[in-house]
Amino acid sequence: MSLVATLILVFALPVEQWERANKLYEAGRFADAIVLYDSAAQQVAAVEIYYNRGNAHFKLGRLGRALADYLRAWALKPHDPDITSNIAFVRNFRPDKNPNPESPLTAMVRNLLTPFDRLTTRFFAGLLFFVLALCLGLYLSTGKKFLGYGAIGLTVVFVYFGVGTLIWQGVINRAKAVVVVPEAILRSGPGEEYKEIAAVHDGLEVKIVERRPGFVLIQIPGGVGGWVEDQAVERIFE
């Protein structure tokens, strides 16, 4: 890390760090840029920071870390064309392809049900539930029919946002992780002495099932599971 990057890291605000990191990126100093992006990301969870840091990781050949950052950015801004494009690019670029990729129909339904980011969807779902419950309570206490019709309409909208919230809960799953080393060996137990089961590679999205000191049990697409060193995978959503 250069002296300039260190000074900026210590004194600069997130926006300034981000801007300086962008300049380092433009200059091809991707590792220095990542240091500043890391510092900015610790202070504020912003779409642009995750996205740009993902680009810097990709330029250094770190497919897993790049994909993790793109997915974090996508969770904050799900319909950003740059983010979705880069996610697709990295998924196509990585050596291990997903044997069961999401079908276009499933992706279309998911996009229709999640027009907003996770927090906005959850906020509207809660607000709508409150208004819906209030409307229903007033209808029950006063017997005014228009309040009943209002409650029915609000129920429909609430279900829409409620399903969106459930989808987001599935997407933003703390068990989701990504392989961040060139090759990780899956073993039958949490230790080097156990039999090797499979080898997975940088950028593969996995699910963390269990944690043990130094090892995690992961499940890879297709259902196969095995223990790998915990440093071989990075959790996407904290």
Partner 1 sequence: MRCGIVTFVLFFTIATGGELRFTAEVDRTTVGLGEPLQLIVQVSGTNVGRVPKPQLPELPGFDNVGSSQSQSTSISIVQGRVTQEQTISFIYTLIPKKTGELVIGPCRLNYNGTEYTTEPITVKVTKTGTQPKPTQPQRRPFDIFEEPEPTRGEVFLDVSVDRKTVYQGEMVTATWTFYTTGQVASLNIKEPPTLTGFWAQEIYQPQKLNYERRTYRGRQMFGAVVRKTALFPTRSGQLKIGAMSLAGEMVAPGFFFSTAQPFEVNSEEVTVEVKALPETGRPASFTGGVGSFQVSARVVPETAKGGEPVVLSLVITGTGNLGLIGAPTLPPITGLKVLSPETKDDFNYAGGRLNGTRRFEYPLLPLADGKFRIPEVEIGFFDPNTGSYYTRKTPALEFVALGVPARSGEDYTTASGMRVLGTDIRHIKTELRLTVNRLAGCESWFNLFYIMGLVAMAFGIGFGVRRRKLQLDPGYARRSNARKVANRRLKQAEKALAAKRIADFYSLVYQALLSYAGDRFNIETGALTSAEIKDALTRQGVDAGAVQDLLDTVQVCALARFSPNMSECNPHTVLQKARGVVKKI
Q: Is 90 in the site for partner 1 (CB under 8 A)?
A: yes
Min separation Cβ 79 and partner 1, Å: 12
Is the CB of 58 or the CB of 227 nearer to partner 1? 58
Q: Which distant-in-sequence residues (6+ apart) come within 8 Å of 218 by Cβ?
A: 177, 186, 206, 207, 208, 209, 225, 226, 227, 228, 233
User: How many amino acids of this chain bind partner 1 (CB under 8 A)?
Assistant: 55
Q: From 185, 201, 236, select the one nearest 61 (Cα to Cα).
A: 201
Q: Is 133 in the site for partner 1 (CB under 8 A)?
A: yes
Please provide residue 88's backbone torsions phi and psi, each rounded to the nearest 5 degrees.
-65, -40
Residues 43-72 that bind partner 1 (CB under 8 A): 44-49, 51-52, 55-56, 58, 63
Query: What does each C-alpha distance from 34 to 75, 134, 150 come to in angstroms?
Result: 20, 49, 51
What is the C-alpha to C-alpha distance for residues 25 and 48, in angstroms, rounded to an integer? 13
Q: Is 126 in the site for partner 1 (CB under 8 A)?
A: yes
* Residue whose pair of structure tokens reads 């993790």 in the numeric block: 68
Per the structure block, which two tokens stand in for 41? 């990301």
Min separation Cβ 118 and partner 1, Å: 9
Is the CB of 7 or the CB of 133 nearer to partner 1? 133
Residue 36 half-sphere exposure toward CB, CA atoms < 13 A: 30
Q: Is 18 in the site for partner 1 (CB under 8 A)?
A: yes
Q: Is 114 in the site for partner 1 (CB under 8 A)?
A: no
3, 11, 28, 92: which one binds partner 1 (CB under 8 A): 92
Is the CB of 44 or the CB of 108 nearer to partner 1? 44
Min separation Cβ 46 and partner 1, Å: 4
Beta bridge partners of 205: 178
Q: Is 140 in the site for partner 1 (CB under 8 A)?
A: yes
Q: How far apart are the first and last CA of the chain?
A: 26
156, 199, 209, 224: which one binds partner 1 (CB under 8 A): 199
Q: Is 228 in the site for partner 1 (CB under 8 A)?
A: no
Min separation Cβ 201 and partner 1, Å: 7
Residue 106 half-sphere exposure toward CB, CA atoms < 13 A: 5
Sheet holding 183-187, edge to edge: 196-201, 183-187, 225-229, 215-219, 205-212, 176-179, 233-235
Binding site for partner 1 (CB under 8 A): 14-15, 18-19, 22, 25-26, 44-49, 51-52, 55-56, 58, 63, 76-77, 82, 85-86, 89-90, 92-97, 117, 119-120, 122-123, 126-127, 129-134, 136-143, 199, 201
